[in-house]
Amino acid sequence: MARPRAELPPPAALRLLVEEGGRLALRVTPGAKVEALEILDGRLLAKVRARSEDGKANEAVRDLLARALELAPSRLELLRGATSREKQFRILP
């Protein structure tokens, strides 16, 4: 059985959360049953299936964000939170 597609907010809604310098903060839930991005009370929350082992969850979050923002994953750089649930990415030009 095919996995359901991730629930993603519109790219325009995500771009409103991007701070000065192209920074985007989010809270991650690794090991979730479904992949999703949601905006709750002005915060971005990400759920990914990947476990937080060997950076797999970080890569899954990068890929999910890239799909949602309609960017190449290489344009997203993890600035903070490699081992934390609170992460900050920067969108590269």
Question: What domains are there in the chain, each with its CATH number?
Answer: 11-91 (3.30.1200.10)
Name the residue with tokens 């929350």: 45
**Per-residue pLDDT at 63 exceeds 90:** yes
87 pLDDT more than 90: yes
Question: Across residues 34-53, what is the average pLDDT?
Answer: 96
Provide the pLDDT confidence category of residue 54 given band limits of 50, 70 and 90.
very high
pTM, entire model: 0.92
**CA gap 40, 74 in Å, rounded:** 26
**Average pLDDT over every residue of 4-23:** 92
pLDDT at 2 over 80: no
Tell me, what's the pLDDT at 25? 98
β-pair type (43-47, 23-29): parallel
Rounded mean pLDDT of 8-32?
96
Task: pLDDT band for 6, please (50, 70, 90 cuts).
Answer: confident
